[in-house]
Structure 1
Amino acid sequence: MVNEAVIGIDLGTSAIKLLAVSREGEVLGVQSEPLPLYQDYPGYSEQDPDEWNAAMQRGLKHLLRQPQMAEVVIKGASFSGQMHGLVLVDEAGRPLRRAILWNDTRTTPQCELIKEKHGDQVLGNPVVEGFTLTKLLWVKENEPEVWGKAAAFMLPKDYLRYCLTGEIFTEFSDAAATMLWNPQAKAWDKELGEEFGIPDIYPDVLQSHDEAGTFNALLAAELGLGTDVPVFAGGADNACGALGSGVINPNDSICSIGTSGVLLICEPVGGAEGYGHKIHLMNHAVPDVNYLMGVTLSAGYSLSWFKREFYADESFEQLLDEAREAGIGAHGLIFTPYLAGERTPHGDASIRGSFIGISGSNTRGDFARAVVEGITYSLYDSLIYLRSVGKNVTKIVSTGGGAKSDFWLQLQADVFNAEIYKLKHEEGPSMGAAMLAAYGLGWYPSLTDCAKQFIHYTTTFKPDLKRHKAYEDYFQIYQQVYNATRRLTKNLLELQKK
């Protein structure tokens, strides 16, 4: 029997993931292709857009050549991708330089310039180094020869889609990550851009489920696809990750622990004009839904770093087993996951991580436990702020690395004092991208109907009030570490520059 399917393509920081999903929501094939990262100077984080394209094309070929894909007919594709990144192209659509990524922190002077004119928030979002406007200003000020050739800017996944279709677009959820897009008006604020010397190099904007072109004929023939296979606009990775987890209705919430960490809650369009405390306001990939989001820059990255340095010859499972045995509070040890600065609630590119409370009796397992707890505390910082402004968060879907361990899922439930839902199949943003293609093709009357077919949950982890109170005592100390160390770590960074 011939299966009809869609392909969801997620451009991450470490890899591109491709997912083939049937009309019924069954995952038919998965392929991942690694990506190099360039960090030439402290605070720099770049990737080559052409390496993205090469990895995507390899991934498509490998996916479609998997034996189980032999009788599958691809009817459409869509994208998810890392947010905030800057791809500048010339008149011929060629990249003018490497892409500057979401976790690049070189643009502190540009942030200060924006704050001088507009304060700490612009268009409902905090002024922080990650956003695209700051990167545009950095290139304008530091690479005038590149700036003079720029004909358009794109977000990362939009460049990949351009490579498939030859058409330049973005869509609401990624546009909202630029600091040039008004998420309430759903329009570019070109007057703001003109104020900072940004010419009219904006991409046209679609809804996430709109068709944005078709596979180019040469690539379609090489892949064995039919003619005119549609490609849909797609969405930002956090929007697609939420969609691919069924988080699409007001008050639906998700905790995602990947390289970065996200605590996200949905709300209707028009429900917020923007909050303080470094909370982001974004358009969802779902029509007429926005979301509020707190971000931990080094969530899973903190655990990956710790494993690489202290558990290099052991598995993540062994690390987490030792963390579990250490017990709540890690025998008086606290870790702050500020390895690359922090977004929420501090918005500080200069802060760095700390272990506080080290004694001669601490074990390696205590350090592992402290890292897991510190990542979770950082996300809890976002959650308690959202609760303080009236968001009733009692149920959270957990995804990413933190969802692969029942120990960590229970820890999230106890720290957050909320029920944590585990997905039956956790495919993340690539599933959200596939759902946008399925909806765009008209397979389902709404994304809600699509989610009912595609998304299923298994275990629910319920909070234990006694453990929650124990974590609260440690969390109160965790919150004090930032102010106690920020000047010290900034001074250390200055010494490294000498």
Structure 2
Amino acid sequence: MALNAVIGVDIGTSSSKGVLVALDGTLLRSAVRAHTVDRPAPGHVEMAADVWWTEFVSLVRELTADGAADVRAVGVSGMGPCVLLTDADDVPLRPAILYGVDTRATEQITRLEHRLGAEQIRARCGSGLSSQAAGAKIAWVADEEPELFARARRLYMPSSWLVRKLTGSYVLDHHSASQTTPLYDTVARSWYDPWAGLICPDLELPPLRWSGEAAGTVTAEAARLTGLPAGIPVITGTVDAWAEALSVGAHTVGDLMLMYGTTMFLVHTVPDLLTAPALWSTVGALPGTRNLAGGMATSGAVTAWLRDLCGAPDYADLLHEAEKSGTGANGLLMLPYFAGERTPVMDPQARGVIAGLTLSHTRGDLYRAALEATAYGVRHNIEAIEAVGGDIRRVVAVGGGTQGRLWTRIVSDVTGRPQEVRTTSIGASYGGALLAAQLIGDASVDAWNPVQETVVPEPGAAARYEELYRLYRDLYPASADIVHALAAHQTR
């Protein structure tokens, strides 16, 4: 007799991940499809939507190949906010423009702020305009590709694109919509027609639902392509970081989720709307919730770059060498702004800096400096959250970077905060599976994914990191003019 199960699939920046999970939370099988983003011009980061659906089908086929599980529901999530524009027949008109790592819309941000008012945007939308704002990227397409934009009729993100392909439904979750600034009114929790009409008057903006609500059921055609049973429900889904938070239960007031991935993301749940120029205020994935969020433009992307650059066979070797390097990376200090920086710096022209290099430094020192740089960035974001009234009572870590424990220990040492690490750290795909299980029955995160350990700060490292953190904060303003000038000369 086949075991009842759910599937969760997440479309990420560097890979798509899928999990097959029994209804009691047992991870039965997982699969990954690696991919790369396209960078057609400086500051432009894109991906073809065909990749999302092709990898989804491939993942589902692999997860269900032995026929041992009876899939009862499907969960989806993906990187975001992204801008995929299609015509009226759902044919993509261009590759999707990705989230805050794509920094192309600076002129549109300036123009929209001048026309609508920066304070008015933040008051209505929760967040100001930045490289994270999907609405500004839609305005870029209108300005730079007007003939293409004239044919655009629908807006998708990775999760909503999978929903469309699976069910035929055109919907978007409230959280993803709240990152389309300035198109969504985060107070009223609805599209804001006056500004949407100004920026994209011919777009049919999707109806809004909450992430765990059913978007529809698998069609006969989607069942034929994927092997999934026709008629099973598919959740509306959401942005990957919010699905990750759900996978580890970090969605009650006072929780802060740290997502250790290609980028580092922070999601803090707050009781009421909080806004800040250097952070993002969004509605949550669950009804009635609100978040204050931050995101670094790189974290795991820098460690992957170092691994490839240094020819290291795998991360385990680098982690061992970084462990030997010790606190402070033998006097190296890094700014991890290799793709500009999002919160709280909000500077798309920022660049990476490695200070203190000598001929005696090793790749282990460099790797340690990268891990520590991410930790300093996390502390900078935490201080920004607390400065506007955030009340962080619990920190929960999730994502591939929690493996090996060195990175999480460094973050706890730098921030002075314990971090819960739950049994399953796969993240967004597991969170999507949990929402799918909750849609069809009872499933609690504590039963599915109990706390495995708590990483606590080491008192001996605190004083050293306090000194280095102050140097880290001084290094950006001291080098900003130089790296801005260099950024103007970069062609890729």
Distance 2:175 2:58 in 1: 27
Aligned match of 2:484: 490
Aligned to 2:32: 32
Aligned length: 486
Tell me, yes or no, if structure 1 residue 465 matches structure 2 residue 464: no
Aligned AA for 1:116? H
> Contact (CA 8 Å) 2:418, 2:455: kept in 1 or not?
yes
AA at the equivalent of 2:218: F
Q: For 1:231, which of 228, 234, 237 is the aligned residue?
A: 234
Distance 1:263 1:225, change over 3 A: closer
- Aligned with residue 94 of structure 1, among 67, 91, 94: 91
SS at match of 2:328: coil
2: CA distance between counterparts of 1:333 and 1:387? 28
* Alignment pair present for 1:214 and 2:214: no
- Contact 1:394/1:418 (8 A) holds in 2: no
Q: Which residue of 1 aligns with 2:128?
A: 126
Pairwise CA distance, 1:497: 5.2
Structure 2: which amino acid aligns with 1:296?
M
Conserved 8 A contact 2:155-2:203: no
Q: Return the alpha-carbon distance in structure 2 between the equivalents of residues 52 and 223 of structure 1.
A: 13
Can you list the C-alpha shifts for 1:312-353, whole angstroms capped at 9, x where unaligned? Answer: 233211112111212222222100000100001111111100
Query: Pick from 97, 109, 113: which aligns with 1:115?
Result: 113
Alignment correspondent of 2:104: 106
CA contact (8 A) 2:61 2:227 kept: no
Q: Does 1:295 align with 2:298?
A: no
Deviations along 1:16-52, one digit per CA (max 9) or x if unpaired, are 2111111111112212223342111111111111222
Alpha-carbon shift at residue 430 of structure 1 (Å) = 0.7
5 Å-filtered alignment, 1:61-72, equals 61-65=61-65, 67=66, 70-72=67-69
Q: Does the aligned pair in 1 maintain the 2:138–2:199 contact within 8 Å? A: no
Matched, 1:12 2:15: no
CA offsets 1:229-273 (integer angstroms, 9 cap, x no match): 1111011111101001111211111111211101221123xx124
* Higher mean C-alpha deviation, range 452-461 or range 337-346: 452-461
Gaps of 5+ in 2: none
Whether 1:170 and 2:172 are equivalent positions in the alignment is yes
* Alpha-carbon distance in 1 for matches of 2:459, 2:243: 33
What SS class does the counterpart of residue 126 from structure 1 fall into? coil
Provide the residue aligned with 2:154 in structure 1. 152
Map of 1:427 onto structure 2: 426
Q: Partners of 1:373 and 1:348 in 2: how far apart?
A: 20
1:318 aligned to 2:288?
no
Residue 22 of structure 2 corresponds to 22
Where in structure 2 are the equivalents of 1:278-289 lying within 5 Å? 278-289=278-289
Secondary structure class of the residue paired with 1:495: coil
Structure 2 partner of 1:75? 72
Q: 2:448 aligns with which of 442, 454, 462?
A: 454
1:496 alignment partner, SS class: coil
**Letter in structure 1 aligned against 2:81:** H
Q: What is the correspondence of 1:255-404 to structure 2 with a 5 Å cutoff?
A: 255-268=258-271, 271-276=272-277, 278-310=278-310, 312-404=311-403
Report the Cα distance in structure 2 between the residues aligned to 1:202 and 1:40, rounded to whole angstroms. Answer: 27
Flag the 1:114–1:466 CA change in 2: closer, same or farther, 3 A.
farther
2-side partners of 1:147 and 1:390: how far apart? 41
Give the distance between the partners of 2:382 and 2:344, measured in 1 at CA: 10
Query: What is the distance in 1 between the residues matched to 2:263 and 2:104?
Result: 18
Cα displacement (A) at 1:402: 2.8
1:416, distance to aligned residue in structure 2 (A) = 1.2
Instruction: Assess, with a 3 A threshold, how the Cα gap between structure 1 residues 470 and 313 changes in structure 2: closer, same or farther.
Output: closer
Q: Per-residue deviation at 1:197?
A: 5.0
Paired residues of 2:159 and 2:236 also in contact (CA < 8 A): no
Map 1:133-144 → 2, pairs under 5 A: 133-144=135-146
Contact 1:193–1:199, Cα closer than 8 Å, also in 2: no
Distance 2:477 2:204 in 1: 40
Q: Tell me, yes or no, if the aligned pair for 2:255 and 2:393 is still in contact at 8 Å.
A: no
Could you tell me how far apart the structure 2 residues matched to 1:409 and 1:224 are? Answer: 39
Distance change in 2, residues 1:50/1:379 (3 Å): same
Q: How far off is 1:474 after superposition?
A: 0.5
Q: Check conservation: 1:279, 1:345, Cα contact below 8 A.
A: yes
CA distance in 1, matches of 2:333, 2:396: 26
Q: 1:221 to 1:364 in 2, by over 3 A?
A: closer
2-structure distance, mates of 1:101, 1:63: 27
Q: Is the 8 A contact 1:182 1:189 kept in 2?
A: yes
How far apart are residue 390 of structure 1 and its match? 3.5
Q: Which moved more, 1:240-249 or 1:154-163?
A: 154-163
Partner of 2:255: 252
| Partner residue of 1:195 out of 198, 222, 227 | 198
Distance in 1 between residues matched to 2:446 and 2:454, nearest whole Å: 18
1:444-482 deviation per Cα after TM superposition (whole angstroms, max 9, x unaligned): 2xxxx6212212111211123342222111001101111
2:438: which partner in 1?
A: 439
In the alignment, the residues of structure 1 paired with residue 470 and residue 218 of structure 2 have an alpha-carbon distance, to the nearest angstrom, of 53
Deviates more, 1:27-36 or 1:330-339: 27-36
Distance, in Å, in 1 between the alignment partners of 2:144 and 2:456 is 52
Q: CA deviation at 1:174?
A: 0.9
Identity of aligned residues (%): 28
After TM superposition, the score normalised by the length of structure 1 is: 0.94
Deviation at 1:424, TM superposition (A): 1.0
SS at match of 2:489: helix
**TM-score of the superposition, structure 2-length normalised?**
0.95
d(CA) in 2 for partners of 1:223 and 1:200? 30
**Range with bigger deviation, 464-473 or 345-354:** 464-473
Other-structure match for 1:48: 48
